[in-house]
Copies of this chain bind each other. A is one copy, B any other.
Amino acid sequence: MKWKRSERLVDMTHYLLEHPQQLIPLTFFAELYQSAKSSISEDLSIVKDTFEERGIGLLVTVPGAAGGVKYIPKMPEAAVREVMQELLKDLSHSDRLLPGGYLFMTDLLGNPELMNRVGKVFASAFCDKEIDVIMTVATKGISIAHAIARHLNVPVVVVRRDNKVTEGSTVSINYVSGSSRRIQTMVLSKRSMQSGQRVLITDDFMKVGGTMNGMKNLLEEFDCTLAGIAVLVEAEHLDERLVDDYYSLVKLQEVNEKDRTIALSEGNYFSKGGNER
């Protein structure tokens, strides 16, 4: 069957969106659609222009015999700000206040549409950082980790607090949790990572950074490199933090349990250069 350009454009768009960060040879499309490479090139330049015009992402063409085309999810600044503003608005409701100055965020972490956009924001910041693995700690960071992973096309590994038989052989470390200063344990399956991999760590919330620091130590046990840290909400913290190089989308400045007010501001995403490339 010979495909029309209009049909090719629809199918190609779907294929590229489902295969982010993968180099696809032009011959793949040429054979799939029984079309000349020159037609495929023209199709791709329409897709590329539309993706850029509409802030969907970049389409990078690699020339030569081993070349092809690669879709890189990349959000423009305005769309990132929109995600931030939505988070700030959502999180400021006083009924999110929990005893101890915590914020209820579980509903946001369970919203697939919002998580998809949060994932794309962080994937945009790390799209050229050659991330091999995304690491998070159970339970609440998992949805963010998977959302980023989908856009970067890399696996997720989940650190646990306990040792489960289904994880096989594991590596475990002890670390000091930031706020409570208690000794805690982190466990990760030995097969999760290979030495030399570049790891992006993510979590939903960070205060002192004890958990992040624990994960950092854990990846050293695997001879892996920390490639970046992405956190949804960071809490204002006056003392020195255990980690300092991270991106956040929201900053929780103050919680007043008596007046039931929550003070929030934009995280450091832009000030740390998350939108540059």
Contact = CB atoms under 8 A, between A and B. Distances in A.
Given A138-B139, A143-B156, A7 B46 contact: yes
Given A112-B146, A156-B112, A46 B10 contact: yes
B166 A105 contact: yes
A98 interface: yes
Interface in A122-158: 138-140, 142-143, 146-147, 149-150, 153-158
A74 to B, nearest CB: 13
Interface stretch (A47-55, A215-223, A265-273): A47-55
Interface in A192-210: 192, 205
Interface string A234-245: 000000000000
Contacts of A143: 142, 146, 156
Given A156-B143, A166-B140, A10 B110 contact: no
Nearest to A188: B106
A38 interface: no
A158 B6 contact: no
Contacts of A72: none
A11 B56 CA distance: 9
A14 interface: yes
A28 interface: no
B155 A107 contact: yes
A112 B6 contact: no
Contact of A53 (B7, B103, B189): B7
Interface residues of A, number: 58
A185 interface: no
A106 B189 contact: yes
Nearest to A158: B139
Nearest to A5: B6
B11 A50 contact: yes
A110 B157 contact: yes
A98 B6 contact: no
Nearest to A15: B54
A30 interface: no
Contacts of A14: 13, 17, 51, 54, 56
B160 A139 contact: yes
B7 A104 contact: no
Interface string A211-234: 000000000000000000000000
5 contacts: A10-B51, A106-B157, A106-B167, A138-B138, A139-B160
